[in-house]
Amino acid sequence: AQSVTQPDIHITVSEGASLELRCNYSYGATPYLFWYVQSPGQGLQLLLKYFSGDTLVQGIKGFEAEFKRSQSSFNLRKPSVHWSDAAEYFCAVAPRGGYNKLIFGAGTRLAVHP
């Protein structure tokens, strides 16, 4: 069955520290890959996406993610976290072609300590 796993439900980091949020997927073929962020009381905003090509993708707000086919992973990283990054982060996948059904992970809630 198709699935997306975000192993960390909550993560707390200090402001200025580096961040890595994990995402693993189970899919028959390499899907499209996405990271979304949801700030409190807000809708979902796309941070970045991977379709093909360079496996390191750059997104908004200083985030990047690396696609590793051998590990079926698409981990999100940021070298220095800001207090405004506190939010919930969702990894999502969609199959190539067809009807592009988006499947989400359970999310990782990030807290940032001053």
Asked if 13 touches another protein (CB under 8 A), the answer is no
Rounded Cα–Cα distance for residues 41 and 96 (Å): 31
Asked if 89 touches another protein (CB under 8 A), the answer is no
Asked if 42 touches another protein (CB under 8 A), the answer is yes
Rounded Cα–Cα distance for residues 21 and 77 (Å): 6
Asked if 54 touches another protein (CB under 8 A), the answer is no
Stretch that binds another protein, among 15-23, 65-73, 75-83, 91-99 (CB under 8 A): 91-99
* H or E stretch covering 14: strand 10-14
Asked if 28 touches another protein (CB under 8 A), the answer is no
